[in-house]
């Protein structure tokens, strides 16, 4: 053990001599008084904030209960309309059955009348008997046709078939909505602010049973501050805590692609093996564990994912599809077959008015409106081989560029877009494929064939 050598030693009484007469000592009481006032002010402020939080909680409770009442009204209306349709269908089926019964009764009566006439008239008048026989024979022919028609009919019946995916979707929800907490952190600057990287930190996300080096091609921050990663090379989902430590994993089919949040603790994962498996896997994160809830089958490749307003946006490599969360038939929103990977991945602006897609083949960032109409097509020498776009809550747009080993920021001013390279190989980036903005002004970058994700601390 070593000690620092002192150049000189002075006794405290010698140092303190005359100190009480200094201006610094005389102002001490004033300084303490001012600090105590500030402490009292901040305490009062936090106490009032605590009461405000309690009050806002009561407001949230009221809104939740109102929403539940609204759902009750909606389900009551749906029940009434469904029962009404059932009654209408039942009346229609019974009318069909009664029509057959009426026809049967009608021909039965005709046959009785004709046979009675033949019975009582055959002894007195042969002409009348012949006429009666002819009419009876004609009725019998019609009856046989009627019997054949009725015999070919299946018995009428009714069954109730709930709309596909409705029960599964409702069952997959853990809450009626998100509880959004604000405050505690400074708000982000405006969307035209250009960030700079202050420093970068590597976080290892390898686990013991990984068979290959990680391929983190999907990463998303959940509302509770945890992160969900898709490890393509190991066919795993990995859950990180707010300190970027792996809490749990979940094996998934070959091969997980992009991932996006669909609720406070729910997420969607694209799964595609490049052959015949094209799925969207819905998962729930609970108590530090990943629970797989259900799967939406697709008839096209599933590469990139984004979620907004209860809709899932899915990229195929050459097209963009939109699905509702119940898993109904997806509809194509945009397509470009002029290349191998013309619709790599997508991101949606906070208000849902803009959809950003990357054209990997032609080095483009394309902006669509919510109807799929192209608003702009942007190219730039620093925007090469773009893969994953990401949009913050304030509208900042970031993009990973795979073969350039870089992350860029795209800003727009006066309808003019510009690119700034934020980070590159000198920040530890190799094959950056996934991207996520954290609330503490940092970007998390997932990499292929690399056990580390890179945290870029921004300023």
* Structure confidence at residue 221 (pLDDT): 92
- Please give the sequence-ordered ranges of beta strands (E in DSSP) within 287-330, or none if there are none: 289-297, 304-308, 311-315, 319-324
DSSP 445: E
pLDDT tens track, the chain, 459 positions: 444 455 557 677 876 788 788 887 788 888 788 888 888 888 988 888 888 888 888 898 999 899 889 989 988 998 999 999 899 889 988 998 898 888 888 888 888 887 777 776 555 667 777 777 788 878 888 888 888 888 888 888 888 888 877 777 777 777 777 777 666 666 778 888 999 999 999 999 999 999 999 999 999 998 888 999 999 999 999 999 988 999 999 999 999 999 999 987 899 999 999 999 999 999 999 888 999 999 999 999 999 999 998 899 999 999 999 998 876 778 999 999 999 999 999 999 999 999 999 999 999 999 999 999 999 999 999 999 999 999 998 999 999 999 999 999 999 988 889 999 999 999 999 999 999 998 778 999 999 999 999 999 998
Residue-level length of the chain: 459
- Closest by CA position to 110, among listed 137, 92, 129: 137
Structure tokens at 399: 């993009």
Q: What are the beta bridge partners of residue 304? A: 315
64 burial class (0-12, 13-18, 19+ CB within 10 angstroms)?
Answer: middle
C-alpha to C-alpha distances, 191 to 186, 317, 394, 442, nearest whole angstrom? 15, 28, 6, 15
Phi, psi of 409 (to 5 degrees): -115, 130
393 burial class (0-12, 13-18, 19+ CB within 10 angstroms)?
Answer: exposed
How far apart CA 317 and CA 297 sit, in angstroms, is: 17
Answer whether 307's CB lies under 8 Å from 313's CB: yes
* Structure confidence at residue 1 (pLDDT): 44
How far apart CA 127 and CA 343 sit, in angstroms, is: 88
Strand order, beta sheet including 304-308? 304-308, 311-315, 319-324, 331-335
CA atoms within 13 A on the CB side of 53: 12
Q: In this predicted model, what pLDDT tens digit does every residue of 214-250 receive, in sequence order? A: 999 999 998 888 999 999 999 999 999 988 999 999 9
* Structure confidence at residue 7 (pLDDT): 53
How far apart CA 145 and CA 143 sit, in angstroms, is: 5
How far apart CA 399 and CA 385 sit, in angstroms, is: 10
- What is the full DSSP assignment across 4-51? PPPS----HHHHHTTGGGSHHHHTHHHHHHHHHHHHHHHHHHHHHHHH
* Structure confidence at residue 446 (pLDDT): 97
Q: In this predicted model, what pLDDT tens digit does every residue of 317-365 receive, in sequence order? A: 999 999 988 767 789 999 999 999 999 999 999 999 999 999 999 999 9
* Structure confidence at residue 123 (pLDDT): 57
- Closest by CA position to 347, among listed 457, 258, 432, 256: 258
- What is the full DSSP assignment across 378-430? E--TT--SEEEEEE-TT--EEEEETTTTEEEEEEEETTEEEEEEEE-GGGT-S
Structure tokens at 16: 């303190």
Structure tokens at 177: 């909505």
């Amino acid at each position: 053990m070593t000690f620092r050598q002192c150049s000189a030693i002075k006794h405290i009484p010698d140092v303190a001599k005359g100190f009480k007469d200094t201006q610094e000592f005389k102002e001490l009481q004033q300084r303490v008084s001012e600090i105590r006032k500030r402490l009292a002010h901040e305490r009062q402020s936090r106490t009032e904030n605590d009461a405000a939080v309690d009050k806002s909680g009561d407001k949230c409770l009221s809104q939740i209960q109102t929403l539940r009442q609204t759902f009750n009204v909606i389900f009551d209306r749906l029940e009434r309309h469904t029962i009404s349709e059932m009654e209408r269908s039942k009346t229609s089926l019974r009318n069909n059955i009664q029509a057959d019964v009426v026809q049967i009764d009608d021909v039965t009566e005709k046959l009785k009348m004709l046979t009675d006439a033949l019975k009582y008239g055959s002894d007195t008048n042969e002409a009348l008997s012949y006429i009666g026989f002819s009419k009876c024979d004609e009725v019998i022919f019609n009856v046989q046709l009627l019997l054949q028609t009725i015999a070919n009919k299946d018995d009428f019946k009714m069954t109730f078939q709930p709309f596909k995916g409705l029960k599964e979707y409702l069952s997959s929800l853990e809450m009626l909505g998100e509880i959004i907490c604000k405050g505690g952190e400074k708000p982000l600057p405006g969307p035209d602010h250009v960030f700079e990287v202050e420093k970068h930190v590597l976080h290892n996300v390898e686990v013991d049973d990984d068979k290959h080096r990680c391929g983190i091609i999907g990463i998303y921050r959940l509302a509770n501050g945890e992160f969900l990663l898709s490890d393509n090379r190991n066919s795993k989902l990995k859950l990180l805590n707010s300190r970027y430590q792996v809490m749990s994993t979940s094996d998934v089919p070959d091969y997980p692609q992009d991932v996006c949040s669909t609720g406070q603790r729910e997420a969607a994962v694209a799964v595609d093996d490049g052959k015949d498996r094209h799925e969207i896997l819905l998962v729930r994160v609970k108590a530090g564990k990943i629970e797989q809830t259900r799967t939406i089958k697709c008839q096209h490749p599933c590469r990139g994912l984004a979620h907004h307003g209860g809709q899932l946006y899915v990229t195929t490599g050459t097209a963009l599809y939109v699905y509702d969360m119940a898993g109904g038939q997806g509809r194509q929103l945009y397509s470009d077959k002029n290349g191998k990977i013309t619709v790599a991945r997508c991101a949606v602006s906070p208000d849902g008015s803009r959809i950003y897609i990357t054209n990997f083949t032609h080095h483009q960032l394309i902006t669509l409106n919510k109807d799929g109409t192209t608003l702009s097509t942007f190219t730039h020498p620093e925007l090469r081989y773009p893969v994953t776009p990401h949009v913050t809550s304030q509208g900042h747009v970031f993009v990973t560029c795979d073969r350039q080993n870089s992350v860029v920021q795209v800003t727009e001013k006066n309808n003019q877009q510009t690119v700034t390279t934020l980070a590159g190989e000198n920040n530890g980036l190799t094959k950056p494929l996934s991207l996520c903005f954290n609330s503490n002004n940092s970007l998390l970058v997932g990499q292929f064939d690399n056990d580390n994700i890179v945290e870029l601390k921004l300023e």
